[in-house]
Amino acid sequence: MSKKIRKLKPKLIKELKELQKNRGEMQHFLTNFVLNLCHRSESMVFLRENYKPTDNGKLKDSKPFQVSVGLYVSSLVTCWETLFRDLFVFIVNNDNDIYNRIHSFLQEKNIELDTVDAMDISVSEYMSKQFNFQDLAQTCEAFNFLFDRTEEQITDYFDDAINTIGAFQCSRPNYILHWLQQGNIALVKKEIFDTLEEAFNIRHKVIHDGNFYMEVIPEQMARIESCFMIFPQFITAWLAIKYNQKRMVAFEKNGGTVMVLTTDFIENSAIKILDVSDFSAKDYIVVPDAK
């Protein structure tokens, strides 16, 4: 792989240390992602409840509302970036073949790995900063680097997820479910990628153009939320199964639905895919672990 490597300078060391602190336990990548989404979606619930339409049913031309929605979309990209960077670190730490390949790659680049280790920074963390996970092409490049593949888009890994996880359950209809029901996986991947790309472009404008005010289109927002919340959960479920980590599953018990994070096989269970409706749901109770 021909790639320019960032040297271990004070700025990079500081960035990596901050990411370590904020990340917590590496195997918590799924719960971190879900919580990050939950906190951001709560802000949109507040906005929707307090931003009333005019008498004719149309939304008011409200610049503050447009700014808030644009920032929300931008924050979804941030959640994406964080998850895929954390997944990169997790995979390298848990796959010896990949770790050894990256270790050799860095040695070939004359990186002093003893210096990296002395800073209490792992090879996986250091290598994760060689990719920009705010960029869809580089996210795919990172996964191709890990798995020694040549996929063209990150959504090409959706095949692995669908083929691995088997049965899955969503709480309500969503765009990815709708596309899957068309029976054309190539169409599903294209629709997801196009929507992700659309949101990444919105984020770029929000961050770099103060004159940009996002037009709020409910259908577009629903598509963006589906792709940023649901597609990554398919990827995390695939990797959790691949590396024997906890994944969210749902099953029926005593007339209700039970959701649990587990590595165990549970008969008649399905991978649980959470969405916005789950984050604001009130019809559930938390029960102690039976173990």
Helix, strand, coil share (%) of the chain residues, nearest 5: 60, 5, 30
Q: What is the token pair recorded at 65? A: 């509302």
Q: Which residue has the higher pLDDT, 253 or 189?
A: 189
CA nearest neighbour of 232 among 12, 30, 17, 19: 30
Cα–Cα dist 76/68, whole Å: 13
Quote the strand ranges of the chain, DSSP E. 168-170, 247-253, 256-262, 270-273
Q: What is the token pair recorded at 273? A: 């895919």
Taking only the tens place, the pLDDT of each residue in 211-257 is: 999 988 889 999 999 999 999 999 999 999 999 999 999 998 888 88
pLDDT band at 60 (very low <50, low <70, confident <90, very high): low
Residue 199's Cα: distance from chain center in Å? Answer: 14
Q: Quote the pLDDT of residue 284.
A: 65
CA nearest neighbour of 29 among 93, 113, 72: 93
Q: Quote the pLDDT of residue 171.
A: 87
Strand-pairing partners, residue 248, are 261
Q: State whether residue 214 is helix, strand or coil.
A: coil
Taking only the tens place, the pLDDT of each residue in 108-146 is: 888 888 888 888 889 999 999 999 999 999 999 999 999
Are 145 and 130 in contact by the 8 Å Cβ rule? The answer is: no
Mean of the pLDDT values across residues 80-102? 96
- Amino acid present at 26: M
CA nearest neighbour of 154 among 231, 101, 44, 216: 231
Say what the pTM is: 0.90
pLDDT tops 60 at residue 264: yes
Q: Quote the pLDDT of residue 61.
A: 57
Q: What is the token pair recorded at 72? A: 């929300």
Mean of the pLDDT values across residues 258-270? 89
Residues listed for the chain: 291
pLDDT tops 90 at residue 178: yes
Q: What is the token pair recorded at 132? A: 């920009």
pLDDT tops 80 at residue 286: no
Are 143 and 155 in contact by the 8 Å Cβ rule? The answer is: no
